[in-house]
Amino acid sequence: MFLFYKVNQLEERLEYALSEDGGDYLTLRQSREALRNNPNANSERFATSVKSVLGATNTKGGKADNTVDGEQTTQDADGKEQSSTNAGNETDSKETKRVYLTFDDGPSIYTGQILDVLAANNVKATFFVIGRDEEYYDYYKRIVDEGHTLGMHSYSHVYQDLYASVESFGDEIEKLNDLLYKVTGTKSSIFRFPGGSSNNVAPLPIQDYIAYLNEHNINYYDWNALNGDAVTSGLSPEQLVNNIMNDVENNQDSIVLMHDLQTTHTTVESLQLLIDTLKSEGYEILPIDADTPLIQHVSCNSVEE
């Protein structure tokens, strides 16, 4: 169980690990599915795949992201676990399961198509956007005007610039929010860390950046399900949907990570199938709002007052 959830939370970091370690994402997925379908199978091969692809557990800033039996935790450098009280990951079979579709890195050439599919199905989603040129301004407006949630994902999405200091981090958020207000007339109060709050890229402890968000009343959301569109190319729309459905089945609330990029056209192609599949299996599809559980790899409560 630990391995299933570890992959769910940290899979976005594969794009770094793959280039460094030569790991094979497809082997990881295949091993994962084999183990899921046969719990009695030898898990040694799967564990080896996870280690080779993900590399060492993140301990930057004295914290490491961890998950045990579906409970999201952080871990001190000495190995002491600290449970996150806002994981929102327990399953209640009596209650309708909720799914929050989120799209990172837009607007892009595909944003209009994504919005068209959502509108045709009367589905609302959440877009964690970055700063774009004026040619994309209409997409910011459409997101807001059509009732979706507009979130921030940094202005530049350049890791070394964004995470260089708390000041640069805050400057990017302020710059992006000023742009969104100028274009849409509204400011955003939600954020997603590029790489997630469990990323191993930031040079400072992640709590330093979290403290800034807490101080400015900005909630941040990670994910506990994803389609894998940013970690490997060539996945079919059906494979993307299957990846998501395998992840959401064990969650009461699922925040699904997808990407709105020029390189992720199959995500657009998979969207109608995803919506149809979720609805047919009884899931409620919602945008992130004030009632959404704070699904976070590293809890906002990890910052000392």
The pLDDT-based confidence of 92 (bands split at 50, 70, 90) is low
Mean pLDDT calculated for residue range 101-109: 97
**Domain count of the fold of the chain:** 2
Residue with the bigger pLDDT between 90 and 106: it is 106
Residues 264, 124, single domain; the answer is yes
Residue-averaged pLDDT of the chain: 78
CA atoms within 13 A on the CB side of 201: 21
CA distance 132 to 176: 9
Phi/psi at 71 (5° precision): -100, 120
Q: Which amino acid is at 103?
A: F
Q: What is the pLDDT of residues 226-283, one digit of tens each?
A: 999 988 778 999 999 999 999 999 999 999 999 999 988 999 999 999 999 999 999 9
Whole-number pLDDT of residue 231: 82
Q: What's the per-residue H, E or C state across the chain?
A: CHHHHHHHHHHHHHHHHHHHHCCCHHHHHHHHHHHHHCCCCCCHHHHHHHHHHHCCCCCHHHEEEEEECCEEEEEECCCCEEECCCCCCCCCCCCCCEEEEEEECCCCCCHHHHHHHHHHCCCCCEEEECCCCHHHHHHHHHHHHCCCEEEECCCCCCHHHHCCCHHHHHHHHHHHHHHHHHHHCCCCCEECCCCCCCCCCCCCCHHHHHHHHHHCCCEECCCCEECCCCCCCCCCHHHHHHHHHHHHCCCCEEEEEEECCCCCHHHHHHHHHHHHHHHHCCCEEECCCCCCCCCCCCCHHHCCC
**Integer Cα distance of 154 and 174 in angstroms:** 9
Write down which residue in 83, 116, 146 finishes a domain.
83
91 domain residue, yes or no: no
Per-residue pLDDT tens for 143-160?
Answer: 999 999 999 999 999 999
pLDDT at 81 over 60: no
Residue 148 near residue 189, CB atoms below 8 Å? no
Confidence of residue 304 (pLDDT cuts 50, 70, 90): confident
Give the domain range for residue 266.
Answer: 98-302
Q: How far is CA 108 from the centre of its chain?
A: 18
Together in a domain, 48 and 145: no
Task: Report which of residues 196 and 63 the model is more confident about.
Answer: 196
CA 87 to CA 284: how far, in whole Å? 19
Same domain, 161 and 298: yes
pLDDT tens readout for residues 121-146: 999 999 999 999 999 999 999 999 99
Do 147 and 60 share a structural domain? no
The one-letter code for the residue type at 38 is N
Nearest to 56 by CA among 15, 91, 13: 13
| Domain shared by 156 and 251, yes or no | yes
Half-sphere exposure at residue 2, Cβ-oriented, CA atoms within 13 angstroms: 9
Q: Give the whole-angstrom CA distance, residue 213 versus residue 211.
A: 5
Indicate whether 19 and 126 sit together in one domain. Answer: no
Specify whether 35 is located in the same domain as 130. Answer: no
Taking the complete model, does pTM exceed 0.75, yes or no? no
Tokens coding 88 = 């929102």
Choose the final residue of a domain: 83, 111, 145.
83
Whether residue 92 lies inside any domain: the answer is: no
Q: Is residue 144 part of a domain?
A: yes
What's the angle, vertex CA 57, arms to CA 60 and CA 89, rounded to 5?
100
Give 70 or 130, the one with higher predicted confidence.
130
- Chosen domain end from 51, 83, 115: 83
Bond preceding residue 107 cis, omega within 30 of 0? yes
pLDDT of residue 233: 79
38-47, 162-171, 257-266: range with lowest mean pLDDT = 38-47
| CATH code, domain with 243 | 3.20.20.370
